[in-house]
Chains A and B, each alone.
Chain A
Amino acid sequence: MANSAHTAHAGHDDHHGAPKSFWQRWVVTTNHKDIGTLYLIFAGIMFFVGGAMAMVIRLELFQPGLQFVDPQFFNSMTTVHALVMIFGGMMPAWVGLANWMIPLQIGAPDMALPRMNNYSFWIMPFAFILLLSTLFTGSGAPAGGWTLYPPLVLQGGDSFPMAIFAIHMMGASSIMGAINVLVTIMNMRAPGMTLLRMPLFCWTWLITAYLLILVMPVLAGAVTMLLTDHFFGTSFFSASGGGDPVMFQHIFWFFGHPEVYVLILPSFGVVSEILPTFSRKRLFGYESMVYASAAIGFLSVIVWAHHMFTTGMPLAGQLFFMLTTMLIAVPTGVKVFNWSATMWKGSLSFEPPMLFAISFLFLFTIGGFSGLMLAIAPADFQYQDTYFVVAHFHYVLVPGALFAIIGAVYYWLPKWSGHMYNMTAAKWHFWLSTIFVNVLFFPQHFLGLAGMPRRIPDYSTQFADWNMVSSIGGFGFGLAQLMFPVIIWNCVKGGAKATDHVWEGTHGLEWEVPSPAPYHTWESAPSEALIAAGSPTGH
């Protein structure tokens, strides 16, 4: 036992030590913590790349008229911003958190498939080099929207096959990551860690991983059909050869709708961890949370055509997709109720992770409500392709999924680094983010209801005021995020020593290992008493 401070804890140590060379530690590593860190760093870089593109978009939309960029480049920005944020920011951030936390939370020494874990990470940088290099091709980056609808996407020139191959690579990486999570949770739970003792972050990731292996291959198939249509003369989506471009939308959204739940389900898990800790209570309605998550996962694969109400659909189809979509509000309502009930009469304290979780609760719910409005088929004919849709999905993804990611980092960072971070700075980060995210996205509801179309670089002067407000919010939000890497960097470099439990009201196995978490943890399994005490229900 090299590290005497940790001898009190059985089964965690640095005695094999972290590899000394940079190459071994950060390139060929198979350690779940190192790979988790790599994923999180990569996601952080991608958030800032995608964020810079969002700044270009808001800059151009600051005033009516064309000021800074030409329309083609503007369309590239909206397209690549979405692809980078979804596939490069959100998904690697969640896989990184899964890598770090799932083995710690279920008492496993590592992920089940460590070598594949390394491969699935290292595919990502190459996929994004390929995608982002399209910015420098003669035809420019893909500009037909991240939804890749034919026939527009086929006119992308050189960027088209490059973007498709990048998507193939991201898909392969996601599927490998999902299989790794599934095998880890199914096979490597410590003895006594039954499924209904698992923390909700593991549960929601389990459901997410199932969704991923069911729908990512469908996307791979759809984009492969685009390739063969363009290069090999097939006619899957070409009307002149008997195909149908609307069919692409069906296949795409069969992937695309579950994909948004892939982004949000782990957020539900994270919020279900943070709220009980800082309420100093157990999670209210643990089992109903599990069943609600599973119900949301199931419903997510049968509602895809609500993205396509205006393509023309039989009345029965519109009714089916409208009603099943509205049905999702039921399990989601169960979750929001349980989170509120968890806080009810709790001894709340407002550390940064709790602030982000509470903000998530309020602002995600706003996004959920606008989603219900969009689910109404006749109303959707007005909202389709307007800024109302932009406001809706940014409310669920930015103060929704992104705030949950930031909250998760603030929650577990002391466990990773062994230091507390600067609480005052983190609270500034929270307040600036929460205020500006509303200034940024709330006016977009008004713009959308007034009829402003999305993905257009110029607009009628009637939309000028709210666009300026939205852009100011965008710049404020973007600048506020620069605090995040600084706070993390300072925390990793030093700061007050974190205790093993870090926060006062924590439950769960990840808090039973020392801070910082040693390179190897749970090499011998935790006792059943420890597992029971740490489970969300406390038994």
Chain B
Amino acid sequence: MSLQRQDRPERHGRTAWKLGLVALAAFGFGWALVPLYDVMCSITGFADKANLTKASQIALHPDDKRVVTVEFLGDLPTVGSWDFHPVVHSMQVHPGRLYEAQFFAHNLTGHDTYGQAVPDIAPSKAAFYFHKTECFCFTPQHFTNGEERAMPVRFIVDPALPSYVDRITLAYTFYDTQAPSAKR
């Protein structure tokens, strides 16, 4: 009872190649998750990197009746190679007015290097309403061996900030980056 079997290898090869393409597409999808992740972040405003690192110039009407507390945090990914902390730990600000805060850094790595600050804002919803016009986090900061200095960040809190937010925390993590050209 030799039935007509479908054992035609060329047919198997075609199916296998199609499935191989599916696997290849899945590989591509894995990489596509990188930009998709950024898109998701900017839609939800959650850890919105674009909003955190870019300067914004918005004409605003100050709201002097309202006071918001802005707290500052300085953090290091590892201990020992830097001293890094805010000069003042918190400020009372009026939405719509420009303020400047300072962060102090001291290079203890024993060589010339670059520091890159990465900001984070809590609560995350406030990231939409916290505008930096100038920030030491926009570019890698060059430090010679043993150099210490204070670096400025200028910011405006948007008057549209939801009324239930009365306290914003701006935290920087200060990374040691040997060669800024290799990084984006």
Contacts and interface: CB of A to CB of B under 8 A. Distances in A.
A and B pair up: yes
Interface of A: 10-11, 109, 112-113, 116, 151, 175, 178-180, 182-183, 186-188, 190-191, 213-222, 225, 233, 235-236, 238-242, 244, 246-247, 250-251, 254-255, 312-314, 317, 524-525, 527
B129 interface: no
Given A179-B19, A233-B182, A214 B30 contact: no
| Interface residues of chain B: helix, strand, loop or mixed (majority) | helix
A183 B53 contact: no
Contacts of A190: 3, 5
Contacts of B34: 225, 236, 247
Given A217-B27, A241-B177, A250-B33, A10 B11 contact: no
Contacts of B177: 240-241
13 contacts: A11-B1, A112-B15, A191-B3, A191-B5, A215-B26, A217-B29, A218-B29, A221-B31, A235-B183, A239-B118, A242-B183, A524-B1, A525-B1
A244 B33 CA distance: 12
Contacts of B124: 312, 314
Contacts of A221: 27, 30-31
Count class of interface residues, chain B: 35 or more
B173 interface: yes
A233 B182 CA distance: 6
Interface string B171-184: 00101110100111
A187 B6 contact: yes
Interface stretch (B44-52, B82-90, B144-152, B155-163): B44-52
A247 B118 CA distance: 16
A308 to B, nearest CB: 13
A216 B23 contact: yes
Given A218-B27, A241-B183, A251-B33, A524 B11 contact: no
Interface in B1-41: 1-7, 11-13, 15-16, 19-20, 22-24, 26-27, 29-31, 33-34, 37
Given A220-B27, A221-B27, A233-B179, A314 B19 contact: no
Nearest to B21: A213
Contacts of A215: 26
A171 to B, nearest CB: 10
B107 interface: no
Nearest to A232: B182
Contacts of A186: 15
Contacts of A251: 30, 33
B49 A217 contact: no
B65 to A, nearest CB: 31
B118 A240 contact: yes
Given A179-B16, A213-B19, A239-B173, A524 B3 contact: yes
B30 to A, nearest CB: 3
Contacts of A10: 1
Contacts of B5: 109, 190-191, 524-525
A225 B7 CA distance: 40
Given A10-B1, A214-B22, A233-B182, A187 B118 contact: no
Given A218-B29, A220-B27, A244-B47, A183 B184 contact: no
Contacts of B182: 233
A383 B2 CA distance: 60
B16 A239 contact: no
A242 B140 CA distance: 12
Contacts of B47: 244, 246, 312
Given A217-B23, A218-B29, A244-B37, A235 B46 contact: no
Contact of B15 (A178, A183, A312, A525): A183
Contacts of A188: 6-7, 12
Contacts of A183: 12, 15-16, 19
Nearest to B47: A244
A179 B53 contact: no
A232 B27 CA distance: 20
Contacts of B19: 178-179, 182-183, 213
Given A182-B15, A183-B19, A187-B6, 7 more contacts: A112-B16, A179-B16, A187-B11, A213-B19, A217-B26, A220-B30, A313-B46
Contact of A187 (B15, B37, B44, B77): B15
A420 B50 CA distance: 67
Nearest to A192: B3
B183 A240 contact: yes
Contact of A222 (B22, B30, B118): B30
A255 B23 CA distance: 13
Nearest to A527: B1
A250 B12 contact: no
Given A10-B1, A179-B20, A240 B175 contact: yes
Contacts of B116: 240-241
B24 A217 contact: yes
Contacts of B2: 524
A109 B31 CA distance: 39
Given A179-B20, A191-B3, A527-B1, A239 B175 contact: yes
